[in-house]
C-alpha cells in the first residue's frame, strides 16, 4: 500500500518529504513509539490524535484516516532510523523539539515510562538532531502539561 513512500524513504539519498508524506512519516513514528512497549492502548491513540490534530490542523476524520494509514505504514516499514531520517529531512530544525515533545506526550500517555519507550526516545532524539538535555526539557514540559 505504501511501497512508493517506503522506497523513497529508504533511498540512499532521500528527498525531503513534503505535505501528506511528511505528516504520514511523523504519524508512523508516533505509532511506532506507542507500540514500543508492546501495548497500544486508547490513551496512546488519543494522544496521537491530539498531536496530529494540533500539529497539522486536521479534522477528526482526517486525523483518524492519517493515524490508521500510519498504523499500516509503521507495520510495513523496515526500521526506525529511516522514519527518523525522513522526519529530520522534512521538519525544520527549530521544529524538531516540538516533534520530541509530541513523542514524549505519546510515551507518557499511559502514565508510565516503559524501558522500551525510553530506549527508543534515546535513539530517536539524537537522530533528529536534538540533544539529551533538550529532550529532557521537552519531556518536562509535557509532564507539566499533564
pLDDT the model gives residue 18: 77
For residue range 94-112, what is the model confidence (pLDDT) as tens digits? 788 888 998 998 888 878 7
Q: Note the Cα 49 to chain centre separation in Å.
A: 11
pLDDT given for residue 71 in this prediction: 96
Residue with cell 497500544: 40
pLDDT of residue 1: 65
Per CATH, the number for 18-145 is 1.10.3680.10
HSE-CB for 40 with a 13 A CA cutoff: 14
In sign, the C-alpha dihedral spanning 79, 123, 17, 45 is: positive
pLDDT, residue 27, reads: 92
Contact 113, 125 (CB under 8 A): no
Q: What is the mean pLDDT of residues 77-101?
A: 80
Q: What is the pLDDT of residues 126-142, one digit of tens each?
A: 999 999 999 999 999 99
pLDDT at 78 over 70: yes
Mean of pLDDT over the chain: 87
The C-alpha atoms of residue 99 and residue 29 are separated, in whole angstroms, by: 10
Burial of residue 111 (number of CB atoms within 10 Å: 0-12, 13-18, 19+):
exposed
What grid cell was written down for 50? 491530539
In this prediction, residue 70 has a pLDDT band, given cuts at 50, 70 and 90, of: very high
> Which of these ranges, 56-60, 71-75, 87-91, has the smallest mean pLDDT?
87-91
Task: Give, in degrees to the nearest 5, the angle at Cα 99 between 58 and 116.
Answer: 115
Domain boundaries, the chain: 18-145
Are the C-beta atoms of residues 44 and 34 closer than 8 Å to each other? yes
pLDDT confidence tier of residue 10, bands split at 50, 70 and 90: confident
Sign, CA torsion 102/29/107/81: negative
pTM of the model: 0.84
Residue 42 CB neighbour total at 10 angstroms: 9
pLDDT computed for residue 63 by the predictor? 97
Amino acid at each position: 500500500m505504501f511501497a512508493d513512500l517506503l522506497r523513497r524513504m529508504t533511498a540512499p539519498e532521500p528527498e525531503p518529504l513534503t505535505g501528506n508524506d511528511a505528516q504520514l512519516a511523523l504519524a508512523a513514528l508516533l505509532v511506532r513509539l506507542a507500540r514500543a512497549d508492546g501495548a497500544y492502548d486508547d490513551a496512546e491513540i488519543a494522544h496521537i490524535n491530539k498531536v496530529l490534530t494540533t500539529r497539522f490542523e486536521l479534522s477528526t476524520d482526517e486525523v483518524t484516516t492519517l493515524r490508521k494509514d500510519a498504523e499500516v505504514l509503521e507495520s510495513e516499514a523496515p526500521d526506525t532510523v529511516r522514519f527518523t531520517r525522513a522526519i529530520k529531512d522534512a521538519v525544520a530544525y527549530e521544529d524538531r523539539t516540538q516533534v520530541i515533545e509530541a513523542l514524549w506526550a505519546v510515551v507518557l500517555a499511559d502514565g508510565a515510562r516503559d524501558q522500551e519507550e525510553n530506549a527508543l526516545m534515546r535513539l530517536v532524539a539524537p537522530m533528529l538532531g536534538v540533544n539529551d538535555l533538550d529532550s529532557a526539557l521537552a519531556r518536562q514540559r509535557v509532564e507539566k502539561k499533564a
